[in-house]
Amino acid sequence: MEAADPRNSVPPGRLAPFFGFVAAVLALAVLISAGPVAGLRDRLPDLPAAFWTMAVLAVVCDARPFVPPGRRESSAVFPSTCFTFAILLGWGLGPAVAVQAVAVVVSGWRMGHAVWRTGFNAAQYACALGAAYGVTRLGPGAIFDGGRLHWTDVAAVGGATAAWFAVNYGLVSSAIRLRFGDRWWPSVRLGLAYELLSTGSLLLLAPVLVAAARASAALIPLVLVPLFAVYRMARLSTEQEQLAALDPLTGLPNRKALLAEVAEQVHLHAERAARGAPDAHLALLLIDLDRFKHVNDALGHAVGDRLLVEVSARLTDVVRDGDLVARLGGDEFAIVVPGLTGTDEARALADRVVVALAEPVSLDGLPLDVGGSIGIAVFPEHGEDFATLMRHADVAMYDAKHRNDTVAVYAAESDHNSAERLSLLADLRRVLESGPAVPDPVGARGGDGAALPAGAALPTAVGGRTNGEPRGGGPGRWRFRRRRERPEVRHDDKLINEIVTRADPIRRRAARSAVAEAAVQGPPADAPPAGRASAAPSGPESAAPSGPESAAPTEAAAPVRVRAVPGRDEDPADDPGEITMYYQPQIAIATGEVVGVEALLRWRHPRRGMVDPGELIQVAEQSAVMRLLTRRVVDDVVEQLAKWSAAGITLRAALNVSVRDLHTGEIADQIADRLARYGVRPDRLQVEITEGALMADPRRVLASISQLHRIGVGIALDDFGTGYSSLQHLRRLPLSEVKVDRSFVLGMADDPDDAAIVRSMIELAGALGLRVVAEGVEDERTWRLLHAAGCDVAQGWFHARPMPAEELAAWLARYRPVRPAVTADAEVPRRPTR
């Protein structure tokens, strides 16, 4: 019997203090009640029928206590409390302790309590009755010995009730603390309200019983009627709660029941862990059916409901006795598996679930394939409460989906929504909303430091002409000119100007730059322009092709970044860092000329240093911050193109856009607006997309790409060869360029397979009239092999690493074009004939 109740045992490390406390309570109870109970023998013949009636009812009612569902047996309600407290008020301490002890023994036997537990329960009740009796003796005398009740009697009854409850609950709470240590307070605090309502109601019923006994003993059994009514109402309420905890379609427990079960099991398994038991692990399995939406869409929701019922039956059949299967909603199920020795047992159950779901379900003669992704979280390794276990199981389930696997156990590295990443996302939002960190107090500045007067219009070099010169082309192609030349209208009302400035990113950034300029002390008149420095780094920043016509740079000017001076109320620890754009040159292989650059995002975080670009994009793409990030990148790149044009530098800049940008459809309008504002020719800008972005939603992505193509912006297919259906994309999309992924280029000098793949890509793109850019060119041999294969453009560390715009201008001034010569080492390696 004891083995069925885990609360009969005590953790090994707490045996001495706990049983010492039990012995002390037993000794105190004997000291309090020994005298009154010993004198009870002489009083038995004089006790009235009312006493015997209450005594019999107390023992009989405790033979079947009320245990609320979802609670442990320690929360059971014992009706004997009201009868023994009434006996205390009417006939003293000795009879009350004796009847209570008999009732405790009967209830302990019925509920399978250990001997020490039954003894402690009897002792705690004896101490509580003794405290209540002491309070009653503080009054004017016997309370119910005849005559009229006074307010002092009512106060004595109230004080006795409070004393009984305080002593009883205090002893129980102390015992729980000694048994379970730091985990005692949550259970005690959560159970206080319930105990006040249940036990307090029984105690307050005792004076009514005594008053009825003074009139006639026959009235005492009538109290069973309200007790039974309360009992039935509690049962009906419990049944309603149970119905509310069931899924109406499958009859399985729902999320509410799952929460209660996990909370209960976590407490029990924490006790097992404290005892050092091997089966102290609890697993939560989260199951999401695959392709269930297809069933609903194709066959209707009625068939989908029948499928869910069949799945619930299979899950119920495969689990063990004692495991809980719940339906969370839709096509999500959960299984609670208690009493495990480790994660391997949970995974073994998950494998059995996979096998059970693998067999097709036949509905109306149509076999339906059912599969699922299962995530596993285990207590206590992956969490010690329901919310944490549920979130980690959900993370593991989606990890299984992304890896095209069926089962995954939670791993911290798979949790992309950790607190650290959420903090990083918040910092990213702040740095994007705060505007650029580098103000330009003298107006537009070219990459080589040449400045234009503040407020002057940016000239756009188009085939050697400036904005004031006539240009060829139809009116539709250069329709941005009228918008660009429209004068800026400023309202006399400062409030309206402030609203317009905050709504327009360009004006907002200009306003912040003006504030920063006022906060930073300007350089002397004979000092070099802001943003430049005479110091140079100790090592080279890039490598140029070897040969007689090349001049490898040995130093590069280090940029000095001017940051706005923080206000007095700003906390430096709240600095979100600085976002800048780096540019990597793209070299025409045949001529050695620099034909373009790729814009690359960099974020220097104040605590983490340079944030990995892949992590930055992964964090931003999952939220609306991606929109702010894209807006910042487009603004910075187009503005930089305008500065380069003003300085006489003609380059094409490529920037990457995400799937989220292409889905919204705003990217084309945003780019068109920025090109018009800065007066940049559309063919100076190129947008790079990946094949994965195309597959996410081809219709909307194609619409955005077509709009960009109509504007005149070039479209490049990035990471070519690593995505899906590449040939179909090359045929249908308005592309101007394909970029061979660096994973193929890096190994082509040594791997015949990589060389063959690169050569085939170049030939295919050339046949379709597309320019080919090879990424990851890091040595001279690869550069020469690409030239021999007919590749158009090279990009990689062999020529230059990514660098800020200021360093790029200096690098361009030093760079000398070089053409690759055809040598013996330029022969593309080929696989031996099989």
Catalytic residues: 775
* Residue 123 · residue 175 · CB < 8 Å: no
Q: Whose CA is closest to 627, among 433, 393, 370, 350?
A: 433
Phi, psi of 371 (to 5 degrees): -140, 170
598 phi, psi to nearest 5 deg: -110, 130
Alpha-carbon span 622 to 645, nearest angstrom = 36
DSSP string, 428-486: HHHHHHT--SS--TTS-B-TTS-B--TTPPPP--BTTB-TTS---S-TTTTTHHHHHHS
| C-alpha distances in Å from residue 579, one per residue of 433, 538, 612, 686, 694 | 11, 25, 12, 21, 28
Report the C-alpha gap between 444 and 687 in whole angstroms: 24
Q: For residue 277, which amino acid is it?
A: A
| CB distance 306 to 238 below 8 Å | no
Please name the residue that has the structure tokens 């306003």. Answer: 511
DSSP state of 319: S
For residues 155 and 478, what is the distance between their CA atoms, to the nearest angstrom?
A: 95
For the chain, percent helix, then strand, then coil, each to nearest 5?
Answer: 55, 15, 30
Question: Alpha-carbon distance 651 to 640, whole Å?
Answer: 10
- How far is Cα 286 from Cα 401, in angstroms, rounded to an integer? 12
Q: At what angle do helices 93-111 and 15-38 cross, to 10 degrees?
A: 140
Half-sphere exposure of 674 (CA within 13 A, CB side): 25
Q: CB neighbours (10 Å) of residue 567?
A: 7
Residue 464 carries which side chain, given as an amino acid letter? Answer: G
599: how many CB neighbours lie within 10 A of its CB? 23
Q: Tally Cβ neighbours within 10 Å of residue 8.
A: 15
Give the Cα separation of 239 and 225 in Å (integer): 21
Interatomic CA distance for residues 600 and 584, integer angstroms: 8
CA 274 to chain centroid, in Å, comes to 30
Q: Contact 785/744 with Cβ under 8 angstroms?
A: no
Per-residue tokens: 248: 């109406």
Cβ proximity of 11 and 271 under 8 Å:
yes
Lookup result for tokens 């989906």: 401
Nearest partner of 124 among 10, 18, 25, judged by Cα: 25
Alpha-carbon distance of 357 to 406, in angstroms, equals: 11
Instruction: Give kind and range of the element (H or E) at residue 572.
Output: none
Q: What count of other Cβ atoms lies within 10 Å of the Cβ of residue 230?
A: 17
Which amino acid is residue 237, in one-letter code? Answer: S
Chain-centroid distance, C-alpha 11: 36
